[in-house]
Chains A and B, each alone.
Chain A
Amino acid sequence: MTPSVLLSDPEKRIEAEAAGAVEAAPELQLRIRGLRKSYPGRGLVLDGIELDVFKGEAVALIGSNGCGKSTLLRCSLRLIEPDEAETSFLGHEVQNLRRSALRKLRAKVGFVFQKHNLVLRSSVLTNVIHGSFARMPGFQVWSQATAPKHIREEAMYCLQRVGLAHLAASRADRLSGGESQRVALARALMQRPQFLMADEPVASLDPRVGDEVMDLLLGLTRQEDLTLLYVSHNLDHALKFADRIVGIQKGQVRLNAPANTLSTSALRELYGASDDG
């Protein structure tokens, strides 16, 4: 480990880096400590989760059904209030944030859902434009008709990134599953996020399209220099599309290792005893 004095003093650090003495330490973007969450009638779902995610990493979160992965993602942004947690996210102490500051933090995190969650009766372009809600006065970006030109252009660019510019004018309920998840991804990009979170992003897609979407998700993470934290039940995906795999069992982190040191059979052990019921 590099001595911390060296890292905290910028001048010394630059010198040291120039001399090749230290590698630039990656920035810790998400740090969760002592996360506990119970639901009424369900008891403790998460019982002291500790998790670190560094800038530029892709981390896969795995664990059996009901072990609390979705709860963990949501608690990190307080979309669900945890019972207890110390979370530092992109430099914010999440537990201390007021409503408006929390909204600003959430805006920096692109969240992709299993159900895609597009507004079905609106156009693809409108859906992507919604990604700019946090930085635009709301009424301007309610729909494509009212959005200023530079926003529409940026949305088109985001659609290009996911290869769907030609569908901008289609209605969202006319899309295939893969297309619709890619639109959701474009919407997340429109947020100009620093961090991407995804909860089973390809669970409703067929294997081929699922691979494509994962490829795209990881590709964009790399190109845009983002950080990715996603939940998956597909162990091959976890191994292939992540730098690190974190496994949850009985409310705690039971596995935390670089993906290239793991194998499917090692991961299967996590699913030995079900957390369900």
Chain B
Amino acid sequence: MADLPPQKRMDVPGLPRFALYFLGIVFFIWSCNGANLSLPDLIEGIPNMGRVLGEMSPPDFSRISFVSKSMLVTFQMALVGTVFGVFFSFFLAILATRSQTPSPILYYMARFVISFCRSVPDLVWAIFFVASVGLGTFAGTLTIMVDTIGFCGRFFAEAMEEVDDGPQEALSTMGAGRMSIIQSAVVPSAMPSFVNSSLFALEKAVRSSVVLGLVGAGGIGIELKVAMDLFQYQQAGTIILSIFVLVLCVEQLSSAIRRKIM
């Protein structure tokens, strides 16, 4: 007990650390410049924002049935993409879990696939799928599936990594095989986490399915773009309002499910 190490945080920062802070601040200031921050532009833009918003109201509900149908398709695309994504994530995540993977090679391969799916942004995937399977909702569904794999694959694997290994040891002592141990000890314990991540993935998918239309991957996005391009702001208002309603509904639904499961 005699010689405790001196408390590090109380030290005056040394020169290298000081230099590092300084560089960080300099880089941030430079970045603000790169981001083109400009207060005058913002102030000048405010009336325009007001004008656009003003022209959107009152929203034009004449095409509401068409918009709702398109919204439904958008949601269906998000749902189907998420469900398939969750399905594939589950198997990839088993390979990507250190304690469950059958071999280190598969572990690294699965990790790589998951990180790759995650690090490429969804709009880039959408452009890729539009180019390969053509315009429309199928490209969007694939995009959402891949995006979900990047997201859920990681969180599923983390959840399985954290599961208590006592029950697993007990089952293997009783002569259970690897798949049985995963199904009856790992999955039940990780289930709340799986459900939670999947619901987040669905929320994320609904939001991104809205913009995928901008690159032709199906859904409501394209209608919004057309309306804006043709200065039909009242139509655009309707679309934005219905996007808001959809996202809100999905979020409410998913937190309701979450409350029930946890």
Contacts and interface: CB of A to CB of B under 8 A. Distances in A.
Given A118-B167, A119-B167, A142-B184, A111 B191 contact: no
B238 to A, nearest CB: 45
Interface in A102-130: 103-104, 106-107, 109, 111, 113, 115-122, 126, 130
B176 A119 contact: no
B56 to A, nearest CB: 49
B166 A130 contact: no
A235 interface: no
Given A103-B175, A111-B173, A113-B170, A126 B184 contact: yes
A70 B81 CA distance: 49
B170 A138 contact: no
Interface residues of A, number: 30
A130 B173 contact: no
Contacts of B183: 138-139, 142
A249 interface: no
Interface string B161-188: 0000011011111111101100111001
B184 A106 contact: no
Contact of B173 (A106, A121, A122, A141): A106
Contacts of A120: 167, 189
A134 B176 CA distance: 6
A79 interface: yes
A133 B171 contact: yes
B191 A77 contact: no
B74 to A, nearest CB: 35
A11 B188 CA distance: 55
Contacts of B179: 138-139
A103 B183 CA distance: 18
Contact of B188 (A104, A119, A131, A141): A119
A77 B173 contact: yes
Main secondary structure of the interface of B (DSSP, over half): helix
A191 interface: yes
B174 A130 contact: yes
Nearest to A184: B170
Given A142-B183, A142-B184, A117 B174 contact: no
Given A104-B175, A107-B175, A133-B175, A143 B184 contact: yes
Contact of A117 (B170, B176, B177, B188): B170
Interface in A180-212: 184, 187, 191
Contacts of A118: 167, 170
Contact of A122 (B174, B177, B188, B192): B188
Contacts of A116: 166
Interface in A218-261: none
A122 B184 CA distance: 8
A115 B166 contact: yes
A237 B196 CA distance: 46
Contacts of A113: 166, 169-170
B169 A121 contact: no
A117 B167 contact: yes
A109 B170 CA distance: 11
B176 A79 contact: no
B136 to A, nearest CB: 38
Contacts of B175: 103-104, 106-107, 133-134, 191
Interface of B: 166-167, 169-177, 179-180, 183-185, 188-189, 191-192
Given A109-B173, A111-B170, A130-B171, 15 more contacts: A77-B173, A79-B172, A103-B177, A104-B175, A113-B170, A116-B166, A117-B167, A117-B170, A119-B185, A121-B192, A133-B174, A138-B176, A142-B183, A184-B170, A191-B175
Interface of A: 77, 79, 103-104, 106-107, 109, 111, 113, 115-122, 126, 130-131, 133-134, 138-139, 141-143, 184, 187, 191
8 contacts: A79-B172, A106-B175, A109-B173, A118-B167, A120-B167, A133-B175, A139-B183, A142-B184
| 10 residue pairs, one from A and one from B, having the closest CB atoms | A134-B175, A107-B175, A138-B180, A117-B170, A133-B176, A117-B166, A103-B175, A121-B188, A142-B183, A111-B173
